[in-house]
Structure 1
Amino acid sequence: MSRHFFAAAFAAIALTAAVPVQAASFSESQQAEIGDLVKDYLMKNPEVIRDAMEELQRKEQVAEAEARKSGVAKYADQLFNSPRHVVLGNPKGDVTLVEFFDYNCGYCKRAHADMQKLLDEDKGLRVILKEFPVLGQGSEEAAQVAIAVNKLAPEKYKAFYDELLMSRGAVDGARALVVAADIGLDKAAIQAHLKDPEVAATINESYGLAQALGINGTPSYVLQNDVVVGAVGYDALKEKIKSVRACGSVTC
């Protein structure tokens, strides 16, 4: 057995912890020799550490993606059929795209145009919006008002959503109520509806789904059985939707 092979083997063990090696299995002199061999090998071949870290990252990403797919399958009914969510586009569309968003999310604001373009062009697309306030108290207040708007006047939710999401500056409950009034809704009626337990239940449902799917930021999307994190842009979303129609997956 060559010196380099021996050192590489122990380097792999040290980096990945894939095989437990008990120090008691070796004498002190053997342990010292092994340590020297590993150190010597890594000093001469530092790229081994980089390669090991890249492989570890790849495995973690694969495991994370598989866990998310399992989560989508497990919670599919809540994701795609919950009476609490808002549906845009074709309610009977052949492809459903779920978006988790926050009214104070700058990337969500940028992604709004992408979503609108998809809805305008694709008459078979069903979009589900999940209120997912993760950027502070103001976001939670705005989401509460949005849910109340949807309950009281669902036909006006889209106009409310468009105006509030594209508002300049920080968004909170007060700003949301102003927008609601701008589109002709009664502020007092909305404020009264904020006490409805369904308002909190709707937000908690989104939190629970996000936790199950490993979603902790916005915007995040669920398409078919995959989770897409971040504002990936119009072209990427369109291509994934095209793939779902072609082969039932976001990648064919």
Structure 2
Amino acid sequence: MSKPSSGIAATILSAFAVLVAVLALLVATGTLDVGRSVPRDFEAQARQYLLDNPEVVVEALQRLEERRQQAEANELQTLIVERHDEIFNDSTAPVAGNPDGDVVLVEFFDYNCPYCRKATSDIRQAIEDDPNLKLVFKEWPILGPGSEFAARAALASLKQGKYDAFHHALMGFPGRIGENSTLTIAGDVGLDVEQLKRDMQDPAIAAAIERNRALADDLRITGTPTFVVGDEIIRGLVDLATLKRFIADARQNPEG
């Protein structure tokens, strides 16, 4: 009989080690009671027990994952408190709605993200329906050079007082946003395109985008759109009712 290859043998040993570790976890957490002392043939008994009762492995792993997720959520909530001003009160970030609103909704987005475009109408509706809601835009271009150019142009449009119109026109564009389409849209909304090009070179604009990138990384944000409201991070597209529920929760629990 031939011996198993080193790769297969390693896999078997790793799997067994994991199984024994899981059983040890079961013992430690009280899921499995083996008495006061661990028997000499613990590994053999562990293996047999796991083979006879695979459902306890699933239960233990589920509990472990729940604890991991809760620990991560607690860590992020603490981070949101520590970085509160950077997230909610960045004076360089564009805003919409009530600038003195009692609840702040922060959106990380990319102009080439189709889900961000879908979210735009619900966000506008939430602002219209809630006179005490402040929206903070976090330009976070992650989908290529076109997104980067559009983000810089959008921030530069602040100097001409047309960010809101420009932002929504970019979000309403049916195709992929690039340099040419960005500048065409800029002209369509009444921006001085030549001034916009000059303003885009301001180092403060590149710095703002880099801060957003670093913040998104620290908050473990991996995709767009992502929203932050209260002490919650909402990952991905949600409907208007869900968005309003998070806003209401933040208003009811202002301290998180």
Fold conserved (TM > 0.5)?
Answer: yes
In the alignment, residue 43 of structure 2 is paired with which amino acid?
Answer: G
The alpha-carbon distance between structure 1 residues 10 and 217, as it changes in their structure 2 partners (threshold 3 A), is closer
2:28 and 2:218 map into 1 onto residues whose CA distance is: 28
Amino acid in structure 1 at the alignment position of 2:111: Y
Query: Deviation per CA, 1:148-202, whole angstroms, max 9, x where unpaired?
Result: 112x222x21111111112112112322111111111122111111211011011
Q: Does 1:43 align with 2:51?
A: yes
- Deviations along 1:42-80, one digit per CA (max 9) or x if unpaired, are 111111222122112211211111121111111111112
**Are residues 1:13 and 2:20 paired?**
no
- Given the superposition, is the C-alpha separation of residues 34 and 89 from structure 1 closer, same or farther in structure 2, using an over 3 Å criterion? same
Identify if the C-alpha distance between structure 1 residues 60 and 164 changes in structure 2 by more than 3 Å, giving closer, same or farther.
same
Quote the residue 1:224 is aligned against: 230
Distance 1:94 1:248 in 2: 9
CA distance in 2 between partners of 1:11 and 1:207 (Å): 38
Comparing 88-97 with 44-53, which one deviates more in the overlay? 44-53
* Aligned amino acid, residue 177 of structure 1: L
TM-score (norm. length: structure 2): 0.82
Query: Which secondary structure state, in structure 2, belongs to the residue aligned with residue 184 of structure 1?
Result: coil
Structure 2 partner of 1:184: 190
2:82 match: 74
- Structure 2 counterpart of 1:196: 202
Secondary structure (helix, strand or coil) at the match of 1:232 reads coil
Other structure's SS at 1:97 match: strand
Q: Residues 50 and 193 (structure 1 numbering): CA distance in 2 closer, same or farther, change over 3 Å?
A: same
Which AA in structure 2 matches 1:117? Q
Q: Which amino acid aligns with 2:155?
A: I
User: How many residues end up aligned between the 2 structures?
Assistant: 229
Equivalence for 2:3 = none
1:23-102 map, 5 Å: 30=40, 33-102=41-110
Amino acid at match of 1:186: D
Contact 2:23–2:46 under 8 Å retained in 1: no
Contact 2:115–2:237, Cα closer than 8 Å, also in 1: yes
Contact 1:101 1:133 in 2 (8 A): yes
Which of 169, 179, 186 lines up with 1:163 in the alignment?
169
Q: Write the distance in 2 (CA, Å) between the matches of 1:100 and 1:42.
A: 45
Q: Answer whether contact 2:112 2:147 (CA < 8 A) is retained.
A: yes
TM, length-normalised to structure 1: 0.83
Shift of 1:249: 6.3
CA shift, 1:246, in A, is: 2.4
Instruction: Mark the CA change 1:130 to 1:16 in structure 2 (over 3 Å): closer, same or farther.
Output: farther
**CA RMSD after TM alignment:** 2.3
Show CA shifts across 1:9-41 (max 9, x none).
9643268999xxxxxxxxxxx5xx433222211
